[in-house]
Amino acid sequence: MLNYEFPPIGGGAGQAHLCLLRQYIDVENLQVDVLTSAPKPGDVTEQLSENITIYKIGLHKKQLHFWRKIEVMEWLVKAGLCYRMMLRQNEYDLVHAFFGFPTGWLCYRSAKILPYIISLRGSDVPGQHARLQLDYKILAPAFRAIWKNAAVLIANSQGLKERALRFMPSASIEVIPNGVDTNTFHPAETSDQQDKLKLLTVGRLSATKRVEMLIDAVEILHNDGCKLSLTIAGGGQLESQLRYLVRQKKLDDIIEITGRVDPEKMPQMYRENNIFVSASMQEGMSNAMLEAMASGLPIIVTRCEGVQELIKDNGIIIEESSAEAISKAIRKLVDDRSLLMQMADQASKQAEQFTWRHNAEEYLALYEKVK
């Protein structure tokens, strides 16, 4: 298995990969070598279990949640050397890559000797990602070649599949959604009936997440006399800019930017809040949204890929991407606490449909077909 990012590096894809690996522990007749990255120079080998070994290529990472192009190239060069050595030393049946690029490039180079599966995650599929528009144009031929030669392409949501097909209509793509651990992420034992509503958003602080839109929505509600707070959990290249925006709007007392939060602390953070909000312009399928649902939080989200599978009676999908539209959706739950409680109950029920065990079973079945 290949993934250029893996906890603590990266975001949802790394966490999803780790959750999948945990389902593979002690699976009979399954031996897994994972090739990934570490944030500092020096290669590291970790034994997740008797049948799973993780090889981390040390990089010169400046930020855990942001990849500079030079860091991507460093991983490709160093991981490429290690990957070729591993192929010479082992008799693998197949390789499973997270991300079509850069990870899938290594698989493409070895396609004549080893079949490969690619899990498309979101940023590796051309779309609205503001920072990657030029990259998508330059790398489009490589993307198509990598996809065309894959034994199987997997999208983690129907919406991501549709985006991928707009880029390459001839591609054959299956869908295996993300999962969530409902033992770790579960509702609070007692519901919070305080007057002040606590909003939470979780994710990498990038332009794609449009966190400034959430800040503007909270400002509208605050100025309208609404009692609420917003916690922004996550780090990224826009963290300083967003902190400045909060100070400029004099919202320091109701908006908190935590920076990166240790994964072990996230379950309690979800349970301490009432509503999960997101203004992301594109997703594959949001791990954070699934975790929030499992924790009993209604979801308020601007329409993007991956939400149609998640949001039924457990939240509000906003068609207009604006601070005003977001504030109106939040106000609806502020004014109708019975609706909020109904959505909270439905959220945890909806999350039960998405398990990592089912995710793992679908991938294991694919492995058997491909090998």
CATH number at 8 reads 3.40.50.2000
Q: What is the mean pLDDT of residues 114-142?
A: 86
- Based on the domain organization, do 155 and 223 belong to the same domain? no
Two structure tokens written together for 297: 């939080």
The chain-wide mean pLDDT, for the chain, equals 92
Confidence of residue 237 (pLDDT cuts 50, 70, 90): confident
Residue 124 and residue 243 share a domain = no
Indicate the pairing of strand 44-49 with strand 52-58.
antiparallel
Establish if 243 belongs to a structural domain. Answer: yes
Query: Residue 188 domain-assigned?
Result: no
Q: How many domains does the chain have?
A: 2
Q: Report d(CA 166, CA 256) in Å as an integer.
A: 38
Query: What distances in angstroms separate CA 298 from CA 7, 283, 343, 344, one per listed residue?
Result: 27, 18, 5, 5
In 3-state terms, what secondary structure has residue 287? helix
The H-or-E segment that residue 166 falls in is helix 158-167
pLDDT at 20: 95
Mark whether 230 and 129 lie in a shared domain: no
Provide the residue range defining the domain that includes 202. Answer: 197-351
Same domain for 291 and 275, yes or no, is yes
In a domain, 223, yes or no: yes
pLDDT (tens digit per residue) in 272-302: 999 999 999 877 788 899 999 999 999 999 9
192 within some domain: no
Report CA dihedral (231, 236, 239, 241) to the nearest 10 degrees: -130
Percent above pLDDT 90 for the chain: 77
Closest CA to 154 of 42, 337, 13: 13
Is 124 part of any domain? yes
Distances (CA, A) of 208 to 277, 299, 318: 14, 18, 16
| Cβ atoms of residues 281 and 123 within 8 Å | no
